[in-house]
Amino acid sequence: MTETTPKKTRGARRSEDSRTAILKATREELIENGWRKFSVDRVAKRARASKQTIYRWWPSIGTICVEAALELIPEGSGSGRDATEKIAELIAPVEQALRVGSGHAVLHGALVAACDEKEAGDRWRMWQREHIRMPLRNILAEIASKNVIRRDFDVDLAMDILIGPIVHRVVLLRAPLPEGFSGRQAEAMIKQLAP
């Protein structure tokens, strides 16, 4: 008797297709109407999904917006040669997402949703913690041991220096990030944390 691997069910594939369609429709809705005029009905119709499915898969409407925006942010390369490049590479994917297509409108809507809804804010902070804050803490600890920055560095201050201007430009100014933004922010952060 031989063991066979179970066949993948069509339901799993359909679920992933539906999830992808919902997130795509969410991005389109954010581009056309923003967060404040966001409509789950329009998303459901555009994605050919039921509202019930949407509410079952996401804890709040804002979390759909945040997830849809986070899918636009590519993985960082992590190949920086020095501390400045390594730090810049933590936020460079966000800069890149803001420059591609209508990424700016999607991220704007997602950040406003993260401000308005606790669940959406929690999802955004979880992504930041995993992709920016924890790697940044490791880089800072490494360069603090080499006396490039103070040993008593403040990771919250470092996050404010790196992320604060992005949020300010995207949410309040609705302006694009200038070219080379990530590198300049990394340099400014290291300078401010210098011994």
Task: Map out the domains of the chain with their CATH numbers.
Answer: 12-69 (1.10.10.60), 73-192 (1.10.357.10)
151 residue type, one letter? R
Give pLDDT, residue 79: 74
How many CB atoms are closer than 10 A to CB 141?
13
The reported pTM is 0.85
Tell me which residue of 187, 127, 137 sits closest to 161, measured CA to CA: 187
Contact 80, 74 (CB under 8 A): no
Within the chain, which residues score under 70 in pLDDT? 1-14, 77-78
Report the pLDDT value the prediction gives residue 1, as an integer from 0 to 100: 45
pLDDT given at position 146: 93
Which tokens is 16 given? Answer: 């992933």
Token code pair at residue 123? 């999802």
Q: pLDDT (tens digit, 9 = 90+) per residue, 22-59?
A: 999 999 999 999 999 999 999 999 999 999 999 999 99
> Hey, what are 109's tokens?
């809507």
